[in-house]
Structure 1
Amino acid sequence: MDKRMGLTSPEESEPFQIMLEMQRELRDEWLKVDRIVQHRSVPSSDPGSLPTVEYLVKWRKLQYDECTWEPEEYLTHAQPKIQRYNERIKALAPKPFISPSNRPMIPWDTKCKWLAGELRDYQVEGVNWLIKGWCNNRNVILADEMGLGKTVQTICFLGYLQFIHQIRGPFLVVAPLSTLDNWEAEFEKWVPLLDVVVYTGRARSREEIRSNEFIVEKEGKYAPKFDVLLTTYEMILKDKNLLGAIQWNFVAVDEAHRLKNCESALHEALKEFCAANKLLITGTPVQNNLRELWSLLHFLDPTKFWSLPEFEKKYSDLSEQNRVSELHALLKLHLLRRVKKDVEKSLPAKNERILRVPLSALQKKYYKCILAKNFEDLRRNNNKGARGPLINIVMELKKNCNHPYLFERPEHDNPTELAGIIKNSGKMVILDKLLVRLKETNHRVLIFSQMVRMLDILNDYLKLKGFLFQRLDGSMSRKDRQIAMESFNSPNSKDFCFLLSTRAGGLGINLATADTVIIFDSDWNP
Structure 2
Amino acid sequence: LRDYQIDGLKFMVEHYRQNLGTILGDEMGLGKTVQTISLFCYLKEKEGKRGPSLVVCPLSVLSSWTKELAFWAPSLKVLRLHNSGKSEKDKKILAENGTNYDVILTTYEMLKVPYLASFFSRTFFHYMVLDEGHKVKGHETLIAAAARRIHCENRLLLTGTPLQNNLVELWSLLELLYPDVFTTLKPFEESFNLNENHIDSNMLFQAQKLLDLFMLRRLKSRVEALLPEKLETRVYCPLSKMQVFWYRALLMKDSALLEKLDRDNEDDDDDDEGISKSSRNVLSNLFMQLRKCSQHPYLFPGAEGSNPEETTVSDLVGASGKFSVLDSLLRTLCQKGHRVVLFSQFTMVLNLLEDYCDMRGWKFARFDGGTSRAKRSYLVNQFNVEHSPFFLFLMSTKSGGMGLNLQSADTCILFDSDWNPQNDLQAMARVHRIGQKKKVHVYRLISAHTVEERIVERAAKKLLLDKAVNHDSNETDASTDKNSLTGTGTGMGVKDMLKDIKFGAQAIFGGNTSFELPTLEEIDQITNR
The normalised TM-score by structure 1 is 0.73
Distance across 2 between alignment mates of 1:171 and 1:487:
32
d(CA) in 1 for partners of 2:254, 2:216:
47
Whether the aligned pair in 1 keeps the contact of 2:191 and 2:199 (CA below 8 Å) is: no
The 8 Å contact of residues 239 and 294 in structure 2, kept in 1 or not, is answered as yes
**Is 2:129 aligned against 1:252?**
yes
The Cα RMSD (Å) is 1.9
Check conservation: 2:22, 2:157, Cα contact below 8 A: yes
The one-letter amino acid of 1:224's match is: T
Compared with structure 1, are the counterparts of its residues 296 and 320 closer, same or farther at alpha carbon in structure 2 (3 Å cutoff)? closer
- Please tell me whether the aligned partners of residues 125 and 153 of structure 2 are also in contact (alpha carbons under 8 angstroms): yes
Say if 1:176 and 1:254, in contact at 8 Å, map to a contact too.
yes
Describe the superposition over 1:22-62 as per-residue Cα deviations: whole angstroms up to 9, x where unpaired: xxxxxxxxxxxxxxxxxxxxxxxxxxxxxxxxxxxxxxxxx
Instruction: Show the counterpart of 1:328.
Output: 208
1:200 matches 2:82: yes
Contact 2:132 2:158 in 1 (8 A): yes
C-alpha distance in 2, partners of 1:171/1:207? 24
Q: Does the CA-based 8 Å contact 2:343-2:394 persist in structure 1?
A: yes
Q: Aligned residue for 2:293?
A: 400
Q: Which among 145, 148, 165 is matched to residue 271 of structure 1?
A: 148
1:458-469 pair list within 5 angstroms: 458-469=353-364
Hey, what does 1:224 align to over in structure 2? 99
Residue by residue, what CA displacement relative to the aligned partner does 1:40-87 show, whole Å, maximum 9, x if unpaired?
A: xxxxxxxxxxxxxxxxxxxxxxxxxxxxxxxxxxxxxxxxxxxxxxxx
Corresponding residue for 2:34? 152
Say which of 280, 293, 301 aligns to 2:178.
301
Map of 2:18 onto structure 1? 136
CA distance in 2, matches of 1:207, 1:352: 54
1:411 alignment counterpart: 305
Give the C-alpha shift of residue 129 in structure 1.
1.0
- Is the CA contact 1:196–1:226 (under 8 Å) kept in the aligned structure 2? yes
Correspondence for 1:437: 332
Give the Cα–Cα distance (whole angstroms) in 2 for the partners of residues 234 and 134 of structure 1: 27
Aligned letter for 1:424? A
Alignment match of 2:402 (pick from 507, 512, 520): 507
Q: The residue matched to 1:503 in structure 2 has which SS?
A: coil
Whether 1:476 and 2:353 are equivalent positions in the alignment is no
Aligned-residue offset at 1:202: 4.1
Q: Aligned pair 1:233/2:126, yes or no?
A: no
Q: Structure 2 CA distance, aligned partners of 1:243 and 1:281?
A: 20
The letter of the residue matching 2:42 is Y
Per the alignment, residue 174 of structure 1 pairs with 56
Aligned mates of 2:165, 2:88 — CA distance in 1: 40
Contact 1:413–1:420 (8 Å) recurs in 2: no
| One-letter amino acid of the counterpart of residue 292, structure 1 | E
**Is 1:350 the counterpart of 2:230 in the alignment?**
yes
Q: Please, which of 356, 366, 371 is the counterpart of residue 251 of structure 2?
A: 371
The answer as to whether partners of 1:171 and 1:248 remain within 8 angstroms in 2 is yes
Are the aligned partners of 1:414 and 1:420 in contact in 2 as well (CA < 8 Å)? no
**Deviation of 1:410 (Å):** 2.6
SS of the aligned residue for 1:172 comes to strand
Partners of 2:383 and 2:294 lie apart in 1 by 29
Larger RCO (CA under 8 A, 6+ residues apart):
2
More helix by percentage? 2
Q: Report the equivalent of 2:319.
A: 424
1:243 equivalenced with 2:138 (yes/no): no
| Aligned partner of residue 343 in structure 2, secondary structure | strand
The letter of the residue matching 2:68 is E
Amino acid at match of 2:174: L
C-alpha deviation, 1:209, in angstroms: 5.0
CA shift for structure 1 position 461: 0.5
Gaps of 5+ in 2: 266-270, 422-529
Letter in structure 1 aligned against 2:232: E
Partner Cα separation in structure 2 for residue 223 and residue 183 of structure 1: 19
TM-score w.r.t. the length of structure 2 is 0.73
Equivalences for 1:69-218 in 2 at 5 Å? Answer: 119-203=1-85, 210-212=91-93, 214-216=94-96
Partner of 1:289: 166
Once the two structures are superposed, residues 122-170 of structure 1 have per-residue CA deviations (whole angstroms, 9 ceiling, x without a partner) of: 1111111111111111111111111111111111111111111111231
SS of the equivalent of 2:371 reads coil
Number of residue equivalences: 401
Counterpart of 2:117 in structure 1: which amino acid?
A: K
Amino acid in the other structure paired with 2:304: P
Q: Structure 1 residue 191: deviation in Å?
A: 1.2
Q: C-alpha separation between the residues in 2 aligned to 1:236 and 1:319?
A: 36
Q: In 2, distance between residues paired with 1:512 and 1:293?
A: 30
CA distance in 1, matches of 2:356, 2:88: 44
Counterpart CA distance in 2 for 1:289 and 1:497 is: 35
CA offsets per residue over residues 411-460 of structure 1, 9 Å max, x none?
26744421111000100001001111111111110000000010000001
Equivalent residue letter for 1:374: D
Whole-Å separation in 2 of the counterparts to 1:376 and 1:207: 62
**Does the 8 Å CA contact 2:192/2:200 hold for their aligned counterparts?**
no
Counterpart amino acid of residue 411 in structure 1:
G
Question: Structure 1 regions of 5+ residues with no counterpart?
Answer: 1-118, 217-221
